[in-house]
Amino acid sequence: MKILFNNLSKKSRQRLTLSIAVLGICSAYGQEKQQDSTKVEKLDEVLVRAVRVDAKSPITHSNVTKEALAKRNLGQDIPMLLNFLPSVVTTTDAGAGIGYTGIRVRGVSSQSTNITINGIPYNDAESLGTFWVNLGDFASSTESLQLQRGVGTSTNGSGAFGASINVLTDAISKDASGEISNSFGSYNTRKHTVKFSTGLMNDHIEIAGRLSNIVSDGYIDRASADLKSYFLQGSYVDDNTLIKAITFGGKEVTYQAWNGLEDLEKLEDDRTYNTAGEYTDNNGDPQFYDNEVDNYSQDHYQLHWNQRYNNKWSTTIGLNYTKGEGYFEQYEDDTDEISAYNGIVLPTDVRIDEDADGNPIETPITDLIRRRWLDNDFYVINANANYKDNNLNLIFGGSYSHYDGDHFGEVIWAKAFSETGNIRDRYYSGNSKKNDLSIFTKANYKLNEKISLFGDLQIRNVTYKTTGTTSDIVEFAIDKDFTFFNPKAGITYSLNTGNDLYFSYARANREPNRTDFESNVNIESEQLDDFELGWRHQKGNFSFNANAYYMSYNEQLVLSGRLDDVGNPIRTNSGKSYRLGLELEAIIPVTSKLTLQPNLTLSTNKNKETIISFDDELQNLGKTDISFSPDLVAANAIVFQPIENLQMSLLSKFVGEQFMSNTEAKSSKLDSYFINDFNINYTLKMDSIFDAVIFSGLVNNIFNVKYVSNGYYYTYDDSWSNPGSIATQEGAGFYPQATTNFLVGVTMKF
């Protein structure tokens, strides 16, 4: 190590020494690092070559750079940083963009959006969802990302049914550097990050890392978040070899806010009210349990090796191990579900109910605190080979993953225990195993100067097996095997140097998730045929993209609007359905200092036939809107840069009205909303210890709009409260978003 250190330049040694000192003293401070422009041949990009597409591919996509993310990266999660991309709708449980956040693309739920990090699948193997809360401040370690809309190209992990997002982590930096960043804002929000890079030592080895801490009280009452995260990589590079060992992860403690708000009066008058943790004390007064939290840690270990053999052939191997462990804790007030705890808990009180004839019934009840645990291991191996010449770019390979997850629940406190019961006795226990194997080959072939052809074939096999019981003490034994064939093809025609036309077809299949099986053991996999037709125009700094899509589904798993008892959305097969839309986006340089960046999505999203059971009768509602699918989504950025180091942006977003059910029930409608954010960045360049100091500010929802971006809808039988009744009742819950709020930050680069 001493030899390597001595080989550095004097300035690099000074920077490295300062970086290590800062890392040791300020383990919670610093921010995202903008890599030196002299990256080593961008070899890092080979790690995502198998799952990304280039500008000429007939796949609808958007690229987001590190620099673009950094301008708004003041603590909010990655979905919020992507909010202004075409066809994107984002939401957050806590209302302010930190904690549990979600993203929908073309109206498709986040469970149907495939996420990879350096080509490694990130979606939870069972729920198929993405928990960005476990990736606190990950934007600070992101080199770039690509959002593909529609099926996209073949990817690793669960199939994409609306979008895929592939993330590339920090690239190798040639020079030693460091960063300290702090930001503060509304709801006691704070973000502290420190980053460092040794630069290339001996022209071959780099070590880089990040530590972050984000805390926020949240807009919703008690919806606090405490997110601690880290990122560390060691890299070796030469002319033909790139090896990266990466570890990242963190721990989150988030007060639950997934109940939403079902009281419409409170939605108007007390919209920050949070029912999570609510109970009544012995005097009948309302109280809130102080530890109604989600407590989870997740650690990722990746090893990537890219080898170039000559100017045409190269290979890439990626290995991953992910360890996840944690629980959510709940206070159960006067629960009468005594049998659900397998005799662990004895009732301490009696509630007097009445039967249908008005006779008194004694119902045993108790208070208790429970924890529901996840303890899982996830293993992945990716391997692919690439052949490239002047006309052909061929990639073939495969991915295999194995998931082993334990589900169990503990009672950690109750008013009384049985003689055989002890604290933390498990009242349910189950195990899940899932194997996912896919092989693919994809090629871009330049037929001539005008025409390029794209082909992509994938075979994917999934096995899923469960044992034990669910949290509702119901036997859960699933043994499923799925084999999918997913072909894709497309053509790009270049009219001239500034205009490309493209057309593509893609087939996708996707298995149900754990919650789907819990709600219906006979639920079916879903299929999608995706047709995309587009035009890309580029002339100087002006660009315009237009894309028309038709997504035809068979047995699409759509959100029913209902939630289970832990807030997971319940989905159902919808038979035949489709999404038809037009996406427009442009970059318009009005002057050398003023730029407009608008995008617009117009769509119609329909279930061809909707049959429901209502009041014990089957009703055919005919063609209905697909849930959570607005017909109009638009965004715009007005970017003004009066001088080189100062940029101001007005960011606008409109989301049309949408239903939370597939029945178009009036009580399930979410109103349209139009919000505006203001972002400012100023860079003060220096020639001392610090190379630059960057000041950033973000005001969200500057016009103080009271809006709701997400919610749920459900129906229920009212016979419990009205004996003898068979009428079906309905209800809805809503997730209010924050009114005007702000974040300010300063980043020091050296």
- pLDDT of 610 reads 81
**Total domain count, the chain:** 1
- pLDDT of 723 reads 52
- pLDDT of 2 reads 37
DSSP type of residue 518: H
- pLDDT of 161 reads 79
Cα–Cα distance measured from residue 126 to residue 129, given in angstroms and rounded to the nearest whole number? 8
**Neighbouring-strand partners of residue 403:** 378, 434
Please count the CA atoms within 13 angstroms of the CA of 181 that sit on its side-chain side.
33
Structure tokens at 602: 């117009």
- pLDDT of 564 reads 67
pLDDT tens, 269-316? 999 999 999 998 878 889 999 999 999 999 999 999 999 999 999 999
738 contacts 93 by C-beta, under 8 angstroms: no
Taking Cα atoms as reference points, which of 398, 519, 507, 516 lies closest to residue 464?
A: 516
> What element of type H or E holds 383?
strand 360-388
Low-confidence stretches of the chain (pLDDT < 70) are 1-43, 342-348, 356, 416-423, 561-568, 613-616, 716-728
- Give me the CATH number covering residue 28: 2.40.170.20
Range of the domain at 290: 2-749
Cα–Cα distance measured from residue 138 to residue 182, given in angstroms and rounded to the nearest whole number? 15
**The total number of residues written for the chain in this structure:** 750
Cα–Cα distance measured from residue 109 to residue 89, given in angstroms and rounded to the nearest whole number? 10
Residue with tokens 């940029």: 647
Give CA 687 to chain center in angstroms.
Answer: 39
Q: How far from 314 is each of 46, 51, 86, 253, 319, CA to CA, in Å?
A: 9, 16, 34, 43, 17
- pLDDT of 283 reads 81
- pLDDT of 13 reads 44
Cα–Cα distance measured from residue 242 to residue 516, given in angstroms and rounded to the nearest whole number? 41
- pLDDT of 36 reads 36
Where would I find the beta strands (DSSP E) of 522-598? 526-539, 542-554, 557-563, 569-573, 576-589, 594-596
